[in-house]
Amino acid sequence: ASAGALLHLPLARVPNLTRTIHALRGRGFSVVGLDHRAPVDVHAAVATRPLALVVGSEDSGISRLVRESCDELVSIPMPGRTASLNASAALAVGLFAYVLRPNGGAETAATMPEEAGVAQPGSASDL
């Protein structure tokens, strides 16, 4: 990751995303999915801290079941004909919009459920 950002950001790659979403919600996380079809602009989202941001695959986005499991779906406003960004760019915009909020920011991996398969900051395990 650029400039060592991976050293400070908890990331997860999980085998069952809907189960992980429910586990995160049980720990007090707001689970927000990025979906270009969502009517809510990422800047107007109501998610509170701590946040779990879900980004789908570049070809098909997030699945119907995952969309239904999220607390909120938000989109990134795109002018012109382009409907979406690639996954890494969408994640960057989503995270930036979140940290601009009052009290925005990321929780530490220590607050995330073990079953989420979270890579500790500074680790790239299972990524």
Q: Does 42 reside within a domain?
A: yes
Residue 125 lies in a domain: no
* pLDDT confidence bin for 21, thresholds 50/70/90: very high
81-121: pLDDT as tens digits = 776 678 888 888 888 888 776 655 544 444 444 555 444 44
Residue 85: per-residue pLDDT: 76
Closest C-alpha among 66, 88, 70 to residue 2: 88
- Domain contains 83: yes
Burial of 34 (0-12, 13-18, 19+ CB in 10 A): buried
Per-residue pLDDT, averaged over 69-73, amounts to 93
For residue 20, give the CATH number of its domain: 3.40.1280.10
Domain count, the chain: 1
